[in-house]
């Protein structure tokens, strides 16, 4: 599932390819897009991009924004005018240079919509601060004040937006914190380790274009499976269930 690093990687690609392009049409099918809920955007230029958590925004010169959420398998591909649609293309944004931006999504959980005001959209979704911009002080205060378990706290998009299942595991592994640790019971040093791990893991993943094959060998992501060995101590990787999802961890490094 695309998490913050994947979405940021897509945003950086859009910055290089579509800013300044003029939209001529948007097409697609439900549930990915509901054309009836889109205002006329023909003739509007893409003025910039932004991201908050797992949401990607293509800001238009009108002040409104196209909003992308990628669900489990969504992605964006810029297609030259003479090339066929990529597989699983569910919606397309056409530009005046005859290129088009294809929203591909095998499992159809992604959505392309529109927001008249980006800040109001974020507030309406009650999203917490973005995981890459939240201040260390805010993070530590929120973490110290909650009785939630560590992984549940990181996954709560109302607390901190952008972290999903996979990167939550990596953050806790980097911090040496068990996913079931109750944050209120953690001392300030342990909370500080989590606060440090959040930007380290997310920025590193973005630097590697969210390509798992390029991640450091000391990360747990390549070994998130029972039977694998911890890259740091060689102990068997274990897992527990957190909110219906598996959390992978090293029982030695994350006691």
Active-site residues, by number, are 2-3, 54, 245
Residue partners of 139: CB distance under 8 A and separation at least 6: 160, 194, 195, 198
Integer Cα distance of 154 and 177 in angstroms: 12
Burial classification of residue 128, based on how many CB atoms lie within 10 Å of its CB (0-12 exposed, 13-18 middle, 19 or more buried): buried
Integer Cα distance of 145 and 126 in angstroms: 19
Which 3 state secondary structure label does DSSP give 90?
strand
CB 83 within 8 A of CB 91: no
CA distances from 162 to 167, 169, 222 (A): 9, 14, 20
DSSP state letters, 112-123: EEEES-HHHHHH
Integer Cα distance of 237 and 179 in angstroms: 13
Q: What's the start-to-end Cα distance of the chain, in Å?
A: 28
Integer Cα distance of 173 and 163 in angstroms: 14
């Amino acid at each position: 599932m695309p998490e913050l690093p994947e979405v940021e990687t897509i945003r950086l690609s859009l910055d290089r390819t579509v800013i300044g392009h003029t939209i001529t049409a948007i097409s697609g099918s439900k549930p990915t897009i509901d054309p009836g809920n889109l205002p006329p955007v023909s003739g509007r230029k893409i003025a910039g991009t932004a991201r908050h958590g797992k949401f990607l925004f293509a800001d238009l010169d009108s002040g409104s924004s196209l909003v992308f959420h990628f669900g489990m398998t969504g992605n964006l591909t810029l297609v030259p005018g003479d090339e066929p649609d990529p597989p699983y293309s569910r919606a397309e944004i056409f530009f005046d240079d005859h290129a088009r931006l294809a929203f591909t999504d095998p499992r159809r959980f992604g959505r392309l919509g529109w927001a008249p005001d980006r800040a109001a959209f974020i507030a309406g979704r009650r999203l917490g601060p973005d995981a890459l911009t939240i201040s260390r002080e805010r993070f530590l205060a929120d973490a110290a004040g909650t009785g939630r378990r560590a992984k549940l706290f990181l996954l709560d998009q109302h607390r901190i937006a952008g972290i999903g299942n996979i990167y939550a595991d990596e953050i806790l592994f980097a911090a040496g914190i068990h996913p079931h640790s109750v944050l209120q019971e953690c001392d300030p040093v342990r909370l500080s380790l989590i606060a440090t791990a959040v930007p380290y893991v997310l920025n590193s993943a973005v630097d590697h274009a969210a390509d798992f094959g390029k991640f450091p060998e000391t990360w747990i992501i390549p070994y998130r499976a029972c039977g694998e060995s911890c890259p740091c101590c060689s102990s068997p990787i274990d897992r527990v269930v957190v909110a219906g999802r598996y959390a992978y961890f090293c029982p030695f490094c994350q006691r």
